[in-house]
Amino acid sequence: MNFKEYIKSATIRPEEGDTVEYMSIRDKMMSNVLVNSQKEIPGVGCTYEADVTKLLEEFAKLKTNCGYELTLNSLMIKILVEGLKAAPRLNAHFQYNHRATSGHLIIKKHIDVSMAVCLETGKTFQVKVIHLEDKTLKETAFLAEDAKRRLHNTRLGKMMFEVSRQRMVGLLAQGKVISPLCQIFSACFGKGKIVDLSKSLKSDFRKLTKKDTPKNYDGLRMKELNEGTVCFTNWGTLYDNLNVNITYIPPLYPQVFLFGTGRVKETQHVYEDENGNLHLGTKKVLPLTLVFDHKIGGAADIVPFIKKLDEIFGNPEIIHTW
Domain ranges of the chain: 44-151+226-321
Are the C-beta atoms of 151 and 137 separated by less than 8 Å?
no
Residue 156 is predicted with a pLDDT of: 61
The whole-number average pLDDT for the span 103-126 is: 82
**With respect to CATH, is domain 44-151+226-321 assigned 3.20.20.70?**
no
The pLDDT tens digits for 41-93 are 777 888 899 999 999 999 999 999 888 889 998 999 999 999 999 999 999 99
Are the C-beta atoms of 312 and 79 separated by less than 8 Å?
yes
The pLDDT tens digits for 7-50 are 666 666 777 778 777 666 666 666 666 777 777 777 788 889 99
Which has more pLDDT, 127 or 107? Answer: 107
The pLDDT tens digits for 147-189 are 888 777 766 666 566 666 656 666 666 666 666 566 665 666 5
Are the C-beta atoms of 301 and 283 separated by less than 8 Å?
no
Please state, in angstroms and rounded to a whole number, the distance separating the CA atoms of residues 162 and 223. 11
* Phi (first) and psi of residue 275, to 5 degrees: -95, 5
Please state, in angstroms and rounded to a whole number, the distance separating the CA atoms of residues 82 and 151. 26
Residue 160 is predicted with a pLDDT of: 63
Are the C-beta atoms of 115 and 259 separated by less than 8 Å?
no
Q: Are strands 230-234 and 124-129 parallel, antiparallel or unpaired?
A: unpaired
Instruction: Give the rounded percent of residues in the chain with a pLDDT score beyond 70.
Output: 64
Which has more pLDDT, 205 or 190? Answer: 190
Please give the helix or strand (H or E) that residue 64 lies within, else none: helix 53-65
Residue 8 is predicted with a pLDDT of: 64
Given pLDDT bands bounded at 50, 70 and 90, which one contains residue 265?
confident
Are the C-beta atoms of 91 and 84 separated by less than 8 Å?
yes
Are the C-beta atoms of 81 and 229 separated by less than 8 Å?
no
* Phi (first) and psi of residue 190, to 5 degrees: 90, 175
Residue 184 CA, distance from chain mean position: 26
Please state, in angstroms and rounded to a whole number, the distance separating the CA atoms of residues 38 and 73. 27
The pLDDT tens digits for 230-259 are 989 887 666 566 676 777 777 888 889 999
Q: Where are the alpha helices (DSSP H) in 66-152?
A: 72-86, 137-151
The pLDDT mean for the chain works out to 77
Beta strands in the chain (DSSP E): 43-51, 92-97, 102-107, 113-118, 124-129, 230-234, 257-261, 265-272, 278-293
